[in-house]
Amino acid sequence: TRLLLYTCVLLIKSGSVPVLASLDCLVAEQGCVQEHSCLGLYRVLEYCTAEEAVAPLGSDARTECLEAQNALQHYRPLQVCKCQRGSRREEHCLRVYWTVRFAAYDEYEVSPYEELKLNLVRNIEMSRMASIMAGTDHEMDGQNQCLKAAQDCGLYEKCGSLRSEYVVACTKRSAVSDSSCNRQKCHRALRRFLERVPEEYSFALLFCPCSEPLCAERRRKTIVPSCSYEENGRGEERVGKPNCLSLQNYCSRDELCRSRLADFQQNCQPSPKSASGCVRESRAMCLKAYSGLIAGTIMTPNYVSNSSAEVSLWCTCDGSGNEWQSCQRTLNMFSSNTCLRKS
């Protein structure tokens, strides 16, 4: 298997395989490590990204880093590689992906993830349509669809156990910070749930149709607002919403958050000319990318109230000064996104 993977690396490097060929960044990294010239440049970029994470680099150091990045462009596997969502070594893979894109930390137009397989896209679309049909049925029988989704999840052992795991992690008080929960553990447990439970169960919980407040409150609390994204001070003291640009800047320093945001922006890019409302014409891929943001990142969106299906980030543009328009664009990715709304 290892020989076959390395052969793929050599083929892509030589140009014998189309650019769209899927190549894991961990495989590309292994191929680079075996070439002395590639390894030297890659180690420089590793140092650059580690230093930049601590404090902005000086002009001379940044120039050296950019030169290394440009020189590494000849090594094709690292330029075309992608990562798999929810894989065991996802965060290592994403670290490789962003290391060779040292100068693109604030660019989110291209997703670092592999394209979804066609059968998964179909399953997500079927789950989405089932939710829509349930929404038309529940008006007649008066059934709370979010309660039904929770009950169905409980009947499926994997869904029930992983849901219980994240509920406990996201409600247990943290002795260290004296806040309502340990956010890191909450994010990790929520990510496990959304990545390991089939969409027919997880999406039914996230996107269940509602027409009355109790149903909508259950739907909103599925994304555990008291811990997943709201800030708490000491004890029960509430802290105001953070600025949206500060939130995005914080996200840009984390490989997983930055990757999930890039995936969302690529797959949920709105288009007024498209029937689906999406540039990529795939509502299923938009929903998958959206749930990826919910799954344990600081940019977790949620429903804004119990009286509508509108969603937004937990942030504000107050105090943005001359960056107010840029801040509004960040907010509008969720609150005014036709692709997301139609999905």
From first to last of the 343 residues of the chain, give the pLDDT tens digit.
343 344 444 443 444 333 344 589 999 999 999 999 999 999 999 999 888 877 888 889 889 999 999 999 989 999 999 999 888 899 999 999 999 988 765 566 789 998 876 656 666 666 655 555 555 554 445 678 888 889 999 999 999 999 999 888 888 765 555 556 788 888 889 889 998 999 889 998 888 888 788 888 888 888 876 777 776 544 444 557 889 999 998 888 888 999 999 999 999 999 988 888 899 888 888 988 999 988 878 888 888 887 778 889 989 999 888 999 999 999 999 989 999 988 8
Q: Return the pLDDT at 127.
A: 60
CB-CB contact of 120 with 162 (8 Å): no
- Give the position of tokens 């969409």: 199
Measuring CA to CA, which residue among 298, 142, 130 is closest to residue 230? 298
Question: To 10 degrees, the CA torsion angle through 50, 51, 55, 61?
Answer: -140
CA distance readout (Å), 5 to 12, 88, 117, 327? 11, 18, 20, 43
Q: Return the pLDDT at 75.
A: 93
Residues 6+ apart with CB under 8 A from 92: 26
- Is residue 270 helix, strand or coil? strand
Measuring CA to CA, which residue among 322, 320, 309 is closest to residue 334? 309
Q: Return the pLDDT at 91.
A: 93
Which domains are delineated in the chain?
Answer: 23-100 (no CATH), 118-134+143-342 (1.10.220.110)
Residues 6+ apart with CB under 8 A from 324: 317
Measuring CA to CA, which residue among 283, 280, 255, 256 is closest to residue 269? 280
Q: Return the pLDDT at 244.
A: 93
Alpha-carbon span 288 to 113, nearest angstrom:
12
Alpha-carbon span 243 to 317, nearest angstrom:
6
Which residue stretches of 142-282 are H helix? 145-155, 157-169, 183-196, 199-206, 213-221, 225-228, 244-252, 255-267
Four-residue CA torsion sign, 133, 138, 143, 147: positive
Per-residue HEC secondary structure of 281-293 comes to CCHHHHHHHHHHH
Alpha-carbon span 197 to 251, nearest angstrom:
25
Measuring CA to CA, which residue among 112, 306, 317, 339 is closest to residue 213? 306
- Is residue 236 helix, strand or coil? coil
Measuring CA to CA, which residue among 139, 106, 125 is closest to residue 330? 106
CB-CB contact of 65 with 44 (8 Å): yes
Measuring CA to CA, which residue among 198, 207, 197, 221 is closest to residue 134? 207
Q: What is the pTM of this model?
A: 0.82
Structure token digits, residue 243: 């600025």
Structure token digits, residue 71: 């020189």
